[in-house]
Amino acid sequence: MMAEFKFEPQQASSPKKLIILALVVILLLGGIALYVRYNPSTPRPSPSAVNVSGVMRAGDTNFEYYKKKIRIEDVKASLGINYNAARIAMIGGMILNDGDRKLDAIELHVTLYDMWGNLSKERTIFVVRPDGKFNQKPMDPLERRSFNISLEGMEYYWDPKEISIEITGLKYK
């Protein structure tokens, strides 16, 4: 016995079906775009990865002069544990602009040591920067402002009493 197949020409798709298909595709693409945009696991630039133009560095005479007018005071460090059971160093303190100019950006280099004086971890970060993302305004003359820095993945023998903080970049008006 032989099977016989009959092919019938398909009818053209109705405009309703095409519109519904287009709407479903648009909704799917919109959902994917929203997921990527607002997903907390999407990497965001950290404050240490920010590039600020016009920052003066070591070797510039203006940097060396004005660096002496900025004081870092009341530095305290503590150890915390996050939800992933990772050890986090939390460093906080006060910055005093003892000069006569507004500061747009201040970059600090933080170095942490272990109990034997060996390098444990280091990080360079802007604690004052000229973007509006963190509602930071320039630091006025004689203004005092707090700063907080956190470093993840701290080793067990980290010594919170041995911290070195150095100003590595400045931008002022």
CA angle 39, 44, 50 (to 5 degrees): 165
Q: Please tell me the predicted confidence (pLDDT) of residue 46.
A: 53
Q: Please report whether residue 148 resides in a domain.
A: yes
pTM here is 0.66
Q: Is the pLDDT of residue 80 over 70?
A: yes
Query: What are the CA-CA distances from residue 12 to residues 5, 17, 109 (Å)?
Result: 21, 10, 68
Q: Please report whether residue 33 resides in a domain.
A: no
Percent of the chain with pLDDT over 70: 84
CATH number of 135's domain: 2.60.40.10
> How far apart are the C-alpha atoms of 9 and 2, rounded to whole Å?
23
| Domain ranges, residue 87 | 55-172
Domain count, the chain: 1
Query: Amino acid identity, residue 126?
Result: F
Q: Please report whether residue 141 resides in a domain.
A: yes
